[in-house]
Amino acid sequence: QSALTQPASVSGSPGQSITISCTGTSSDVGGYNYVSWYQQHPGKAPKLMIYDVSNRPSGVSNRLSGSKSGNTASLTISGLQAEDEADYYCRSYTNSSTYVFGTGTKVTVL
């Protein structure tokens, strides 16, 4: 199972919006609405930010939103803040009854 494809880096200025894409296939992202997104700060454990494509867990900022079209899922961060600077990973269920993560995206706040 190959990793889902994410851009290596995305950057934006404070207050701007950025979007991170996560491209898979019909065997994973395109076939199921079980896409989740994780934020990871250096040296820390990942944190769940979005589940089931577009749902936010309690306590996660509403500046984050998720969506999916075909084999590509997306995470949008609006009103970019310094605290958003981190690595972000998508994850999807697959038709092999396993899971696959994305390659990861480093978000930089300029």
Partner 1 sequence: EVQLVESGGGLVQPGGSLRLSCAASGFSFSTYAMHWVRQAPGKGLEYVSAISTNGGSTSYANSVKGRFTISRDNSKNTLYLQMGSLRGEDMAVYYCARSRNDALDVWGQGTMVTVSS
Give the residues lining the site for partner 1 (CB under 8 A).
1, 3, 34, 36, 38, 40, 45-48, 51-52, 55, 57, 89, 91, 93, 97-104
Handedness of CA 53, 64, 84, 9 (dihedral sign): positive
- Closest CB to partner 1 among 2 and 13? 2
- Assess contact for 52 and 100: CB atoms under 8 A: no
Q: Taking the complex as a whole, how short is the minimal distance between the CB of residue 28 and partner 1, in angstroms?
A: 11
- Closest CB to partner 1 among 43 and 110? 43
Q: How many CA atoms lie within 13 A of 84 on its CB side?
A: 29
